[in-house]
C-alpha cells in the first residue's frame, strides 16, 4: 500500500511514524512535510489545501490511500476532489467537515442527534453577545464560529475580555457561539468513521494553555497523555453510544456521510459527559501520544474507513504502557513566534530509551559548510513523546528528552500529566 499524507505538523509526523510500522504499507509520501518528516519519507512542496494540486500529486504517485491531517484542506474540499478522482481518502468532504468549521452547525447536528452538550447561543453582534452572557453567567465561554487553530476560545470571568474577543471575531467576519461553562476534567476521544460504522481509539487529555497550572492564553496544545486512569469503566463505550454514533447517523441522514476521524472534545461534568466541540481530524498534540501506543496496523485501519469497510466490533491492540508527550514551542508563542533559531540536541534526545521526537514547526537550512541544520519554523516546534511503565515514568522519560534539546527562547510546560500521575484528578459528584 502506498500512502500519501497531507500536512506539515506534529500530528502528521505521528501518523507517518505509525504508518511506517504497518507491514502492509510499502511506501509513504508527505506534502508538504517538515524537517523531521523529510528525514523518513519523501516530501513534496505543494499546497495541500489546493484540490487541484493535491489530486494531481495523488494521481502522479498512484497513491492507494490519502490521509488528510489538518482541517484547512478538508474545509477547502480536498477530500471531495480526491473522491471524484476515485482515490480512497481518509478525511471528510467539505460538507461533513462543517462539524469543525462551524460551531453553530455542530450544535445544530448535536441537537438533531440528541447529543449531550452545553447550552449555547449564536451571536452576530455585541448586543446579542451581552444577552447570551447575561443568560449563561460567568465564567463566560466565547467561541469563534469558524476555524481558529484551537485558539479561538476565550473562557473568562471578565465580561470586558469576553466582549473584546467577540468584537474581534465580528471584525474578522465571524459569528460567535456563547456557551454555558462546563465543570469537570476534559477528555479527547478520536473515533474512526466510515460513514456508517465507528471504532474508537484510546481517550487522551491535552493541555491547551501556554503556562503551568493552565495559566496564560490558549494555544493549539502544549502536551497530552493517554490512557486516563481516572475515567470510569465503560467511558469510551458510553461516548460512542451517546455521542459519536448518533452524530455519524445524523450526518448519514443528511446525505453528508462522515468518513474520517471524529474528534470528540468532552467534559466529564457533575451531570455526566457533555460535548465541548467536534473536530473533523486527529487532534494535535493528542495524536502523538495516542498513536505511540497503537499496535493495530494504522494503514489498514484507515484504508478500511476510507472504503466503508470498518469493523465496528474490531478490538484494537495497544501497548499497555502509558504515553506522555510534551510540546516545545518557540519564543513568543502563541503570539507571532520567533523563527530561524538552530535546534540542538535532537540526536541526544532520540537516543533515549522509549523516547521519540516528532517535528512540527521545523525546517532545514544550509549551515554554510555543505551541511544542513534544523531550525525553528513555527510556533509549536517539537513534541517529545515517551512510553513508560506508569505515568510518572513516562513523564520522566519525556522530560529527559525535552532537557536534551534546546534553542534560544524555547518554552514548554513542566506539568504535563503531573496531576494524573499523582492521582489528583477527580470527576465532580452528581
Q: Which pTM value belongs to this model?
A: 0.92
| Residue-averaged pLDDT of the chain | 95
Model confidence pLDDT, tens digit, residues 81-112: 999 999 999 999 999 999 999 988 999 999 99
Question: How far apart (Å, rounded) are the C-alpha atoms in residues 295 and 18?
Answer: 9
Please give the average per-residue pLDDT across 65-78, as a whole number: 97
292 with 332, same domain: the answer is no
Note the residue count of the chain.
Answer: 430
Model confidence pLDDT, tens digit, residues 110-137: 999 999 998 888 899 999 999 999 998 9
Mean pLDDT is lowest, of 148-162, 209-223, 264-278, for 148-162
Give the pLDDT of residue 148.
Answer: 59
Higher pLDDT, 369 or 380: 380
Question: How far apart (Å, rounded) are the C-alpha atoms in residues 6 and 217?
Answer: 28
Give 119-131 as a DSSP string.
-EEEESSHHHHHH
In a domain, 105, yes or no: no
Nearest of 384, 363, 376, 373 to residue 333 by alpha carbon: 376
Residue 322 has pLDDT above 70, yes or no: yes
188 with 303, same domain: the answer is yes
Residue 56: helix, strand or coil by DSSP? Answer: helix
- C-alpha distances in Å from residue 313, one per residue of 168, 194, 317: 46, 14, 13
Give the pLDDT of residue 16.
Answer: 98
| Count of domains observed in the chain | 4
Our CA dihedral for 274, 279, 283, 287, rounded to 10 degrees, sits at: 80
24 with 62, same domain: the answer is yes
The CATH number given to whatever domain includes residue 298 is 3.30.470.20
From 179, 199, 221, the end of a domain falls on 179
Residue 333 in contact with residue 327, Cβ under 8 Å?
Answer: no
Please give the average per-residue pLDDT across 253-261, as a whole number: 98
300 with 231, same domain: the answer is yes
From 256, 280, 307, the end of a domain falls on 307
In a domain, 114, yes or no: no
221 with 279, same domain: the answer is yes
- C-alpha distances in Å from residue 349, one per residue of 216, 226, 379, 399: 28, 21, 20, 10
168 with 221, same domain: the answer is no
> 11 falls in which pLDDT band (50, 70, 90)?
very high
Question: For 245, phi and psi rounded to 5 degrees?
Answer: -65, -45
> 233 falls in which pLDDT band (50, 70, 90)?
very high
163 with 193, same domain: the answer is no
Nearest of 381, 386, 193, 206 to residue 283 by alpha carbon: 206
From 179, 204, 224, the end of a domain falls on 179
The CATH number given to whatever domain includes residue 62 is 3.40.50.20
In a domain, 167, yes or no: yes
Residue 340 C-alpha from the chain's centroid:
25
User: Would you state the cell numbers that stand for residue 398, as one nine-digit string?
Assistant: 519525556
> 430 falls in which pLDDT band (50, 70, 90)?
confident
Question: What is the gyration radius of the CA atoms in the chain, in angstroms?
Answer: 21
In a domain, 430, yes or no: no
In a domain, 108, yes or no: no
Mean pLDDT is lowest, of 35-49, 72-86, 88-102, 172-186, for 172-186
- Residue 428 gets which letter from DSSP? P
Question: How far apart (Å, rounded) are the C-alpha atoms in residues 131 and 137?
Answer: 10
Question: How far apart (Å, rounded) are the C-alpha atoms in residues 95 and 251?
Answer: 10
In a domain, 339, yes or no: yes
Nearest of 401, 350, 408, 349 to residue 375 by alpha carbon: 408
Spatial neighbors of 334 by CB under 8 A, at least 6 apart, are 151, 210, 217, 218, 219, 220, 379
> 150 falls in which pLDDT band (50, 70, 90)?
low
145 with 259, same domain: the answer is no
Greatest extent of the chain over all pairs of C-alpha atoms, in Å:
65
> 149 falls in which pLDDT band (50, 70, 90)?
low
Question: For 148, phi and psi rounded to 5 degrees?
Answer: -140, 15
175 with 194, same domain: the answer is no
Give the pLDDT of residue 147.
Answer: 67
Helix (H) or strand (E) holding 30: strand 27-32
> 310 falls in which pLDDT band (50, 70, 90)?
very high
Nearest of 143, 266, 151 to residue 204 by alpha carbon: 266
Domain that includes residue 294, residue range = 184-307
Nearest of 399, 398, 190, 411 to residue 286 by alpha carbon: 190
328 with 393, same domain: the answer is yes
> 151 falls in which pLDDT band (50, 70, 90)?
low
In a domain, 207, yes or no: yes
Spatial neighbors of 41 by CB under 8 A, at least 6 apart, are 16, 20, 28, 29, 30, 33
The CATH number given to whatever domain includes residue 157 is 3.30.1490.20
Residue 357: helix, strand or coil by DSSP? Answer: strand
The CATH number given to whatever domain includes residue 413 is 3.90.600.10
- C-alpha distances in Å from residue 87, one per residue of 52, 68, 100, 257, 314: 13, 12, 23, 17, 25
411 with 329, same domain: the answer is yes
Residue 327 has pLDDT above 90, yes or no: yes
Helix (H) or strand (E) holding 71: helix 71-75
233 with 278, same domain: the answer is yes
| Cα angle 62-40-27, degrees, rounded to a multiple of 5 | 25
Question: How far apart (Å, rounded) are the C-alpha atoms in residues 206 and 281?
Answer: 15
| Cis peptide bond N-terminal to 294, omega within 30 | no
In a domain, 113, yes or no: no
- Residue 427 gets which letter from DSSP? P
Amino acid at each position: 500500500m502506498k500512502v500519501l499524507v497531507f500536512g506539515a505538523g506534529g500530528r502528521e509526523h505521528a501518523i507517518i511514524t505509525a504508518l511506517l510500522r504497518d507491514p502492509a504499507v510499502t511506501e509513504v509520501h508527505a506534502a508538504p512535510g517538515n524537517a523531521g518528516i523529510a528525514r523518513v519519507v519523501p516530501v513534496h512542496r505543494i499546497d495541500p489545501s489546493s484540490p487541484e494540486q493535491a489530486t494531481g500529486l495523488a494521481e502522479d504517485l498512484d497513491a492507494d490511500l490519502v490521509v488528510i491531517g489538518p482541517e484547512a484542506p478538508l474545509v477547502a474540499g480536498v477530500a471531495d476532489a480526491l473522491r471524484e478522482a476515485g482515490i480512497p481518502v481518509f478525511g471528510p468532504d467539505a460538507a461533513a467537515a462543517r462539524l469543525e468549521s462551524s460551531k453553530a452547525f455542530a450544535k445544530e447536528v448535536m441537537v438533531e442527534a440528541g447529543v449531550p452538550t452545553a447550552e449555547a447561543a449564536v451571536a452576530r453582534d455585541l448586543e446579542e453577545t451581552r444577552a447570551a452572557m447575561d443568560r449563561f453567567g460567568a465564567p463566560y465561554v466565547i467561541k469563534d464560529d469558524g476555524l481558529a487553530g484551537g485558539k479561538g476560545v476565550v473562557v473568562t470571568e471578565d465580561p470586558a475580555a469576553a466582549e473584546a474577543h467577540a468584537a474581534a471575531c465580528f471584525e474578522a467576519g465571524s459569528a460567535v457561539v456563547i456557551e454555558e461553562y462546563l465543570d469537570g476534567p476534559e477528555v479527547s476521544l478520536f473515533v474512526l468513521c466510515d460513514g456508517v460504522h465507528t471504532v474508537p481509539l484510546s481517550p487522551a487529555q491535552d493541555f491547551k494553555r501556554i503556562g503551568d497550572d493552565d495559566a496564560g492564553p490558549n494555544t493549539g496544545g502544549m502536551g497530552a497523555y493517554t490512557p486516563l486512569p481516572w475515567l470510569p469503566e465503560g467511558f469510551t463505550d458510553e461516548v460512542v453510544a451517546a455521542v459519536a454514533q448518533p452524530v455519524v447517523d445524523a450526518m448519514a441522514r443528511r446525505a453528508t456521510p462522515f468518513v474520517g476521524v471524529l474528534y470528540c472534545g468532552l467534559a466529564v461534568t457533575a451531570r455526566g459527559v457533555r460535548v465541548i466541540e467536534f473536530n473533523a481530524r486527529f487532534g494535535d498534540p493528542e495524536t502523538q501520544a495516542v498513536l505511540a501506543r497503537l499496535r493495530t496496523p494504522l494503514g489498514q485501519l484507515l484504508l478500511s474507513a476510507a472504503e466503508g469497510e470498518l469493523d465496528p466490533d474490531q478490538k484494537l491492540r495497544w501497548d499497555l504502557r502509558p504515553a506522555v508527550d510534551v510540546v516545545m514551542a518557540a519564543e513568543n508563542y502563541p503570539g507571532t513566534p520567533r523563527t530561524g533559531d538552530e535546534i540542538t540536541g535532537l540526536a541526544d534526545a532520540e537516543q533515549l530509551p522509549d523516547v521519540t521526537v516528532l517535528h512540527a514547526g521545523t525546517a532545514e537550512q544550509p549551515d554554510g559548510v555543505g551541511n544542513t541544520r534544523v531550525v525553528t519554523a513555527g510556533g509549536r516546534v517539537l513534541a517529545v513523546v515517551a512510553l513508560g511503565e506508569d505515568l510518572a515514568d513516562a513523564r520522566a522519560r519525556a522530560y529527559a528528552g525535552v532537557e536534551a534539546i534546546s534553542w534560544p527562547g524555547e518554552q514548554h510546560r513542566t506539568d504535563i500529566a503531573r496531576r494524573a500521575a499523582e492521582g489528583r484528578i477527580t470527576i465532580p459528584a452528581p
